[in-house]
Amino acid sequence: MSQNVSETFQRVFPRWALFRGAALGSVLCSLVGSITLCLLLVDGFLIADLLESRGRVVVEVDDAEEFYELRTGRPAEPPADGPVPLAPVMLTEVVEDGGLLHAVWWSRSTPFGPVFYGLYHAIPAFQGNRTTLLILIGAGVVLGLLRAGLLSIARGLSDRAALETVTRLRRMLHRQALRLGTADLTGRDSNNIVQFFTEDCDRIRDGVALFAYRIGRHPAKLVLLSAMAFSVQWLVTLQCLLPLAVCWFLFHRERRRMAETTRAANAVALREIRLLSESLTRARLIRGFGMEQFDEQRFEQELGRYQKDATALRKRQRASRVTFRTLLIICFALVVLLIGIKVLAGAEGMTLAAALLLLAIFGAMYRPAEMLIELRRDRIAAAEAADRVYRYLNRSPTVAQAVGAKFLQPLSDRIRFESVSYKSPDRGLLLDRLDLQVFAGKFVAIVATEPMAGRAIVDLLPRFIEPTSGRIRYDNEDTAWATLESLRAETVIASVREQCFSYSIRENITAGREEVSLHQVIEAAKIARAHNFIQKLEQGYETVIGAGGEDLNVGQQFRISLARAILRDPAVLVIEEPEEPFDEDTKSLIDDAYKRIFPGRTVIMLPQRLSSLKKADEVALVHEGRVAGIGKHVDLIRRSPLYRHWEYVRYNEFRVTDSQVIGDGKPQ
């Protein structure tokens, strides 16, 4: 599992991506920020050392010459008359108000020595206590502000790198949705793609941002802090790391155990609370059969068990918290004890300031170690989201243009469905060797006992979906061998199944074609009887609709879709009437639009209104994937019992509504 997670995450954000662009900038800023933290700790050590020693340095006789060289910056010279015997005393010199001199003397045999020595002699202000304290405090403020700024920049750059990654994924999702979305009859894929585009991409963005930020910051921080601790006192550091490592292991083992226990207990609690809630929705059954006493006993038993389990879980959680705190206290006490013993024993280089520096280093190492452990959890969440996205991106479209496809001429004779079958991934077999002819210039309404079968028929015409078997001919041309551009230019669907874009009304009608003039847009809107309501809007044809814009009712949206289709002037116009009912004014406007649009054009409709059925030249009834009857509405009513039953159930005023359909989907 961990390998799969790693591979998936590497696919969305490979390792080399850390060393380019914004991610590289984040890594570099984090690295400098970690160096700044180390400088802050050194600055704090120098302040503590100054306050502890008050700038006073006491030097033994054996170290007099070395001290003289450190203090003056030049080697000690023997007297001209030869060496003079020293007095038999232990101390030769005491320096007061030495500023940074005590730290220079302490660090002479450490990696910090040359740095402190150089600062002491390069900046004269470091040779007095007050000026040294002032400079160190000022340096601490500057370093603190610099570190905060660097980490803020690193966070911003990691966010930018994550956003660039997600933007690339969203472009890929957009292209894939255009390739696959036409085959989505039920809308299931549309819901999934929205989830991929929003929730999953947001999870990926958060995971990548955290990874780029933490992986650039915390490993370098741990390495620098460890090196710093070893440079202060390598032996003491080793002695302290052992109890720290043991406590760390025990701490996280207890945390994992507690997390597993809590998950199991929560699952049991959820099952028990569901049992308890049954009585809340069974009042009629309990009262009707006189089960009050029995139900009360069972309820009390379940409630007592739930309370007992909940209490036990809370006790375990409290015990776990006590264990955590005990481990932390013991760990801290052991480290303080080890360092304190060295300080009390007067071990070389172990001053109080050095002890405080080591404690500060160990404390600063906790958070980066914790963040690196949590990083795996964040990567898992991002990798799971990325896996869903890539599974969608890896899908192949069912419709593709054939090699050598030809330009399709406008329809002049008929459309023929020849033994066409179509099997939906969601609904099974919708069309079963369907045969149907639609003559040019006719208005044909298609009704189906399974509504998805009608949708499948009209979506097959522009090749939004591909038949499982059989073929569709425009005149004598198989649509499978026509270019998609020419086929879809001659076959246009007007529907509100896919709502208007959140663009201006003009852009919705032109479908983004900039070469279309406003005059042409207005003429199309007039034919669709949409011009009047558009003119009444505050900005007319420039009014933005959809999300964040003007809300249009279903009748207005439908008329805009008609205007969009009219502007293309297709040979075959497919109309899918909306299921929502129109008001009387809208009905008359749409009927008038039909009178203007239909003459001289091949129209195939999925009707929702009885008036549309009655006006059709032919009505094709599809049942169990085949044409069960075809003819005018009045003829089918007279000779087809199935059509008569369908018409009664669909349009009779006493028909069963959706709210009257229960469990198994059968009307009562």
Q: What is the pLDDT of residues 554-574, one digit of tens each?
A: 999 999 999 999 999 999 999
Q: Are 388 and 421 in a shared domain?
A: no
Residue 121 covered by a domain: no
Query: CATH code at 468?
Result: 3.40.50.300
pLDDT tens string 140-171: 999 999 999 999 999 999 999 999 999 999 99
On the question of pLDDT at 260 being above 70, the answer is yes
Is there a domain that residue 8 lies in? no
Selection from 427, 432, 435 nearest residue 452 by Cα: 427
**pLDDT of residue 1 exceeding 80:** no
Inside any domain, residue 69: no
Count of domains forming the chain: 2
- Return the C-alpha torsion angle 39, 45, 49, 55, nearest 10: 10
Rg (CA), the chain: 40
Tell me the C-alpha distance between 277 and 271, whole Å. Answer: 10
Instruction: Identify the CA nearest to 599 among candidates 440, 416, 437, 409.
Output: 440
Q: In the predicted model, what is the mean pLDDT of residues 472-492? A: 92
Is the pLDDT confidence value at 527 over 60? yes
323 and 175 within one domain: yes
**Cα–Cα distance for residue pair 416/473, rounded to 1 Å:** 5
The closest of 47, 115, 101 to 70, measured between CA atoms, is 101
Max mean pLDDT among 271-275, 504-508, 602-606 falls in: 602-606
**Boundaries of domain holding 448:** 414-655
* Averaged pLDDT, 547-557: 85
In which band, very low, low, confident or very high, does the pLDDT at 428 lie, cut at 50, 70 and 90?
Answer: confident
- Apex 107 CA angle, 105 and 110, nearest 5: 145
Over range 11-33, report the average pLDDT: 89
Tell whether 288 is covered by a domain.
yes
Compare 228 and 426 and report the one with higher pLDDT. 228
Look at residue 30 and tell me if it is in a domain. Answer: no
Secondary structure (H, E, C), 566-616? HHHCCCEEEEECCCCCCCHHHHHHHHHHHHHHCCCCEEEEECCCHHHHHHC
pLDDT digits (tens, 9 = 90+) for 173-203: 998 888 887 777 777 777 788 889 999 999 9
Highest mean pLDDT among 28-32, 107-111, 362-366 belongs to: 28-32
Q: Tell whether 402 is covered by a domain.
A: no
Asked whether residue 68 carries a pLDDT value surpassing 80, the answer given is: no
Strand partners, 409: none
What's the confidence (pLDDT) of residue 665? Answer: 38
Q: What is the mean pLDDT of residues 433-462?
A: 93
**Residue 382 sits in the same domain as residue 428:** no
Predicted confidence (pLDDT) at residue 518 exceeds the cutoff of 80: yes
Low-confidence winner among 116-120, 277-281, 339-343, 513-517 (lowest mean pLDDT): 277-281
Same structural domain, 424 and 388: no
Which range is most confident: 621-630, 645-654, 657-666? 621-630
User: What integer is the mean pLDDT of 314-337?
Assistant: 80
Q: Nearest CA to 295 among 282, 310, 305, 309?
A: 282
Highest mean pLDDT pick, 11-25, 102-116, 231-245, 646-660: 11-25
Tell me, what's the pLDDT at 667?
A: 38
Nearest residue to 449 via CA among 639, 652, 648, 186: 648
Contact 310, 269 (CB under 8 A): yes
384 & 420 share domain: no
Which residues, other chains included, contact 602 with Cβ-Cβ below 8 Å and sequence gap of 6+?
Answer: 411, 415, 438, 439, 440, 441, 442, 571, 572, 573
The pLDDT of residue 668 is: 35
| Total Cβ atoms within 10 A of residue 484 | 17
Residue 60, classed as helix, strand or coil, is strand
Q: Could you identify the residue written with the tokens 């009585």?
A: 279
Say which range, 67-76, 411-420, 495-504, has the weakest mean pLDDT: 67-76
pLDDT-wise least confident of 165-169, 271-275, 533-537: 271-275
* 631 and 551 inside one domain: yes
Are β-strands 443-448 and 602-606 bridged in parallel, bridged antiparallel, or unpaired? Answer: parallel
Distance from C-alpha of 246 to C-alpha of 71, rounded to nearest angstrom: 44
pLDDT, position 318: 80
Residue 80: the pLDDT is 52
Residue 656 has pLDDT above 80, yes or no: no
Q: Which DSSP symbol is given to 464?
A: S
Rounded to 5 degrees, what angle do the CA atoms 119, 342, 357 make? 40
With CA atoms as reference, report the closest residue to 182 among 477, 569, 369, 456. 456
**Burial class of residue 461, CB neighbours in 10 A (0-12, 13-18, 19+):** buried
Are 438 and 367 part of one and the same domain?
A: no
Query: 337 - beta bridge partners?
Result: none
Per-residue pLDDT at 330 = 82
86-110 residue pLDDT tens: 444 444 567 788 888 888 888 887 8
Note whether residue 185 is domain-resident: yes
Same domain (yes/no): 646, 500: yes
Q: In this predicted structure, which of 363-367, 406-410, 570-574 has the lowest mean pLDDT?
A: 363-367
Domain boundary among 358, 393, 428: 393
Q: Is 147 inside a domain boundary?
A: no
Domain shared by 188 and 280, yes or no? yes
Give backbone dihedrals phi and psi of 423, rounded to 5 degrees, phi first: -115, 120
Tens digit of pLDDT for each residue in 451-465?
999 999 999 999 998
Inform me whether the pLDDT recorded for 216 exceeds 50.
yes
Q: What is the mean pLDDT of the chain?
A: 85
- The more confident residue out of 142 and 375 is 142
Q: What percent of the chain has pLDDT over 90?
A: 40
Please, which pLDDT band fits residue 20 given cuts at 50, 70 and 90? confident
